[in-house]
């Protein structure tokens, strides 16, 4: 447990009123928030972690929750087509990598083998088919070093 997981910390527009680890965190608008011009449109909110994609989407579509994050690429069309729900997508910071440990396999010690594997991976195809167009292909497989 970090300090922030068990102590009030921060200067944001909401304060934690209740926290059950792995179950939910409840917030209320902080009446003493410094930015008086930012009225907001929510007085209370509850964050409930929903691990499974299908369960998270079902909760949204049934009206059990007001918003979810993330929406898996496979669920974008289903959410987008639902009445009364807007799908909003934003660039993220998630990076999906495929690492090669050259000490785990003799063949991987040969730079030509590693280069062949890198060239065989269709990054654009991964973006198009797996991520349904909601990603950007990397310029390289992993950072130097």
**From the CB of residue 62, how many other CB atoms can be counted at a distance below 10 Å?**
8
Total domains in the chain come to: 2
pLDDT of residue 125: 93
CA 97, 98, 102, 103 torsion: positive or negative? Answer: positive
Q: What are residue 14's DSSP bridge partners?
A: 29
138: pLDDT confidence band, cut at 50, 70 and 90?
confident
Report DSSP letters for 20-79, one per residue: ETTTEEEEEE-TT-S-TT---S-SEEEE----SHHHHHHHHHTTS-S--S---GGGHHHH
pLDDT tens for residues 70-107? 999 899 999 999 999 999 988 777 777 778 888 999 99
| CATH classification of the domain holding 43 | 3.40.190.10
Q: Are residues 72 and 132 in the same domain?
A: no
Using DSSP bridges, classify how beta strands 24-29 and 44-47 pair: parallel, antiparallel or unpaired.
antiparallel
For residue 129, the 8-state DSSP code is I
Q: What is the pLDDT of residue 144?
A: 53
Residue span of the structural domain in which 54 resides? 3-81
Query: Is the domain of 72 the same as that of 117?
Result: no
Q: Are 38 and 14 in contact (CB under 8 A)?
A: no
Give the number of other Cβ atoms within 10 Å of residue 29's Cβ.
14
Residue 121, pLDDT > 80, answer yes
72 and 127 belong to one structural domain: no
Q: What is the pTM of this model?
A: 0.65
pLDDT of residue 133: 86
| Token pair listed for 68 | 């979810």
Q: How far is CA 22 from the centre of its chain?
A: 17
Contacts 24+ apart (CB under 8 A), 110-119: none
> Do 59 and 113 belong to one domain?
no
């Amino acid at each position: 447990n970090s300090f922030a997981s068990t102590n009030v910390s921060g200067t944001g527009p909401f304060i934690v009123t209740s926290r059950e680890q792995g179950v939910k965190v409840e917030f209320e608008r902080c009446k003493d928030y410094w930015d008086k011009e930012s009225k907001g449109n929510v007085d209370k909110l509850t964050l409930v972690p929903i691990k499974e994609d299908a369960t998270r989407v079902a909760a949204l579509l049934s009206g059990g929750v007001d918003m979810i994050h993330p929406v898996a690429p496979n669920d974008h069309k289903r959410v987008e087509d639902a009445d009364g729900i807007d799908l909003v997508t934003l660039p993220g910071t998630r990076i999906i990598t495929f690492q090669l440990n050259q000490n785990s396999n003799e063949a991987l010690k040969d730079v030509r083998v590693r280069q062949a594997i890198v060239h065989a991976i269709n990054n654009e195809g991964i973006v198009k088919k797996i991520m349904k167009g909601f990603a950007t292909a990397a310029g390289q497989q992993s950072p130097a070093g």
